Structure 1
Amino acid sequence: MKRSLTVAYKYAKALFLMTDESERDGILELLKASSEMFSDKKAREFLQDPTFPRSEAVKLILEFLEDVPEIFKNFVVILVEKKRLLYLPTITNAYEQILDESRSKIKVLVETAVALSNEELKLLEEFIERESGMRPLFQIQIKPELIAGMVVHFQDRVLDLSASGRLKRLEYGLK
């Protein structure tokens, strides 16, 4: 798994560096569409079949996407030739992360027992900005099993501020 993340990141970074700011959102959409197509098991098996000519695989992918810039066409050719189509979903995630970081944005997953008020969200936003130096893009999940509080995931950090997390830490401390 670690190798696939490294390989995917390198491809995503190369594609990012080869495009200018005006193209990057369009490239991300093309990557997402390609990943969607490749997530279908039958399509994936068909495109990875060693008896299926690589040039036909490229042609099939590009026909599915419509109106593709030259840089993306070349990218697809390289992925097919190097047998890296398997990494397409991971490349897409890495590209999106690189794009967000270039725009000083960070994805933050917030698991909370109850919906957050606007004031709580504002305080959390200020905290994330202070800690990471980036503007947070929140994904909020309501999880009643947390009892109260929240668990915040960003960068490589996890802040467990939930009642259930505190109870687990107390239980662990008593053992």
Structure 2
Amino acid sequence: MIADKYAKALFQSLEPSQWEEVRQALRGLAEVARQPELLLVLKSPDLSVEEKSQYIAKLTGLNNEKFLNFVKILIINKRVDLLKPIYKAFNKLVSEATNTYEGVVEAYISETGIQLLEKELGKRFNANIKLKLRQKPVGGIKLFIDVLNVEVALIEDRLKEDLIQSILKAI
């Protein structure tokens, strides 16, 4: 995939100490790229490549020369539509290189519960796991770790139903 090639080129051009700041900048761009206004600005023939890259620098707050050159290449090659898949591929490369993976938990759960999940998942996958809590009334727990392809959902109603069935079988 083209996005993978761009992500790999960016990853290899950076020092390990720069990976995280560039990952955050790409994440921000991928989020903002969902808004058609940004894509219109980046595709506009009325603005020069330099003006567009300065706009990106202001938007991300990152003045990393390699990152800005990378953005210029995307603009010149008309690949700004690939910002989200490039971010996903770059995120995967950084995660694998650092053995640190990010995930999301959707539930009403305490910070202690999140820390326990991180610890147990870290043991299971032999990696550092960082979870963000998205409190939602899901009636259970949903866990997503995209790079590791982990998606788990424990729904309260389903657990109750399974428990009832187990009790009925035991009788």
Normalised TM-score (structure 1): 0.71
Instruction: Identify unmatched segments of 5+ residues in structure 2.
Output: 164-171
Match of 2:122 among 129, 141, 159: 129
Match of 1:156 among 149, 158, 166: 149
Residue 7 of structure 1 pairs with residue 6 of structure 2:
no
Q: Once the two structures are superposed, what CA deviation does each residue of 1:121-173 show, in whole Å capped at 9, x if it has no partner?
A: 34322321122221111122233341xx4222222122222213446889xxx
Match of 2:52 among 38, 51, 61: 61
- 1:103-122 equivalent positions in 2, closer than 5 A: 103-112=98-107, 114-116=108-110, 118=112, 120-122=113-115
- CA distance in 1: counterparts of 2:99 and 2:4, whole angstroms: 18
- CA distance in 1: counterparts of 2:38 and 2:152, whole angstroms: 40
Q: Once the two structures are superposed, what CA deviation does each residue of 1:52-78 show, in whole Å capped at 9, x if it has no partner?
A: 178x1x212222216734322331232
Paired letter, 1:71: K
Q: How many residues align?
A: 157
Match of 2:81 among 76, 82, 86: 86
CA shift, 1:34, in A, is: 4.3
SS in 1 for 2:110: coil
The corresponding residue for 1:22 is: 17
The corresponding residue for 1:3 is: none
Aligned partners of 1:145 and 1:164 also within 8 Å: no
- CA distance in 1: counterparts of 2:63 and 2:160, whole angstroms: 53
Aligned partners of 2:3 and 2:85 also within 8 Å: yes
Paired letter, 1:93: K
Normalised TM-score (structure 2): 0.72
Paired letter, 2:73: I
Residue 142 of structure 1 pairs with residue 135 of structure 2:
yes
The corresponding residue for 1:42 is: 37
**What root-mean-square deviation, in Å, do the aligned CA atoms of Structure 1 and Structure 2 show?**
3.0
Aligned partners of 2:106 and 2:134 also within 8 Å: yes
**Cα gap change, 1:62/1:36 in structure 2, threshold over 3 Å: closer, same or farther?**
farther
Aligned partners of 2:106 and 2:138 also within 8 Å: no
Instruction: Identify unmatched segments of 5+ residues in structure 1.
Output: 1-5, 171-175
The corresponding residue for 2:65 is: 70
Identity %: 23
- CA distance in 2: counterparts of 1:38 and 1:157, whole angstroms: 26
Aligned partners of 2:114 and 2:131 also within 8 Å: no
**Cα gap change, 1:165/1:11 in structure 2, threshold over 3 Å: closer, same or farther?**
farther
